[in-house]
Amino acid sequence: MDRIEAGVYRRLDAMRDDIIKLTGEMVAFKSVNPRFMADPESSQESDVQDYIESRLKALGLDISRWEAEARRPNLVALRHGRGGGRSLAFNGHIDVVPIGDREGWDYDPWGSEIVDGKLYGRGSVDMKAGVAAFIAASEAIINAGVELKGDLQLHIVVDEEAGGFAGTRDVIKRGYRADGVIVAEPTSGFIDAAEGGLSWLRVTIRGRAAHAGWRFAQIYPQAEPDAENAGGINAIEKGVKFVAAARELEREWARSRHHPLMPPGITTINPGVMVGGVGLGEDGLPQITSNPAMIPDVCVIDFDFKYLPTESFEEVRDEFEAFVAAFARADPWLRDHPPTLQWHLSNIDFPPFSTPPDHPLIEAVRETHRQLGIKTVLTGKRAVTDAAFYAGANMTPIILGPAGAGLHGDNEYVELDSLIEVAKVFAGVILRWCGVAT
């Protein structure tokens, strides 16, 4: 370990109380994503960004701030390098999910209480602690007087919890790019080097409406032939068969498709919403959903559709559409009235990524771990994060952050020792990746 690196680590050890204070003060802001609030204007996203911005300005960083939506600012802080090095961006979001039932919390969700080495509060580990860690790492390097060769960027965004439309997607749209990206979501200090792709998909199945009183004539057509009244085709029943068929496809993919960093069966096709009724409205949903005396002619099924880090959306889309076509051909009605598919429903589209284990960015983490006496563990992300959008813009991301628990649940906390350790890892990676100017 060289003198500069060792000095930065000592500085971070001395900053321990300040890093914890920074994390706690950020947690105290009730920055719930306004998309989840009855009163969106009461969200404190803008307030916590004010707090962070003042701290970053004190470091002499170049700050860009803009409102992607009303009272929803993104921050990008830039430390220009001297040249000849690689650029590195850190990403973190300051929006949080609601606290849920307050009775389920043993501690004040906004109180930043510290108990047994853990700081409790909504957004503590998801992911204000990660933001605090990369701010602290940057501060330690700058205050030590270290000049970098490559540029250092801090992307501090809103809206991740609702899909990143006004957050990271907007940052990338504005042209911010880096040779490597670290998304500081909680990983218990492990490196998430892969993340599967995700798209929301709507499948609409059409039938033929009729009076339910004549359903018996479909079941026992010899009982009372009545072409005028017995001609209903129940779209919900077709939809149930489709869900069952999709489940078998899901099982087949689970058996035959794998990624070394992902758990078996990660390629899920989850039917999350199913709505049947009569009449297809302009919003893509049935117009009548409260009259069981009608044979429904519309069944809408919304799927959460996941695929492997090494697969492309185009190949899995084509394969699934071929499956749907084969399903329709096997049904006399659907053969002439096939289901329709709407991909990227609600604009939910997370590209996959799989950063090679020997990539220089991972090697920079591995060498930093070696210097700090930390075992390097590579894993894959089960959920989706803003790392997907960097990958979709042809940047190389990894996900790395502190340990904790309770994210999106009760009694969320971050482990304080892990917070300090991750800040050191971030600092070491900055020095190695960006390079130190002499």
In sequence order, what are the residues at sequence separation of 6 or more whose Cβ sits closer than 8 angstroms to the Cβ of residue 280? 204, 206, 286, 287, 298
Catalytic residue among 5, 45, 95, 126: 95
Contacts 24+ apart (CB under 8 A), 225-234: 232/207, 232/208, 232/295, 232/297, 233/207, 233/208, 233/295, 233/297, 233/333, 234/207, 234/295, 234/296
Give how far the C-alpha of residue 214 lies from the chain's centroid of Cα atoms, to the nearest Å: 48
Cβ proximity of 306 and 198 under 8 Å: yes
**Contact 437/81 with Cβ under 8 angstroms?**
yes
Provide the pairing of β-strand 378-381 with 191-195.
parallel
Quote the radius of gyration of the chain (alpha carbons, Å). Answer: 26
Q: Tell the burial category of 106 from Cβ atoms under 10 Å away from its Cβ (0-12, 13-18, 19+).
A: exposed
- Residues recorded for the chain: 438
CB atoms within 10 A of CB 343: 15
Taking residue 169's Cβ as centre, other Cβ atoms within 10 Å add up to 22
Q: Respond yes or no: is residue 95 known to be catalytic.
A: yes
- Residue of 45, 159, 160, 415 marked active site: 160
Q: Which residues are catalytic?
A: 95, 160
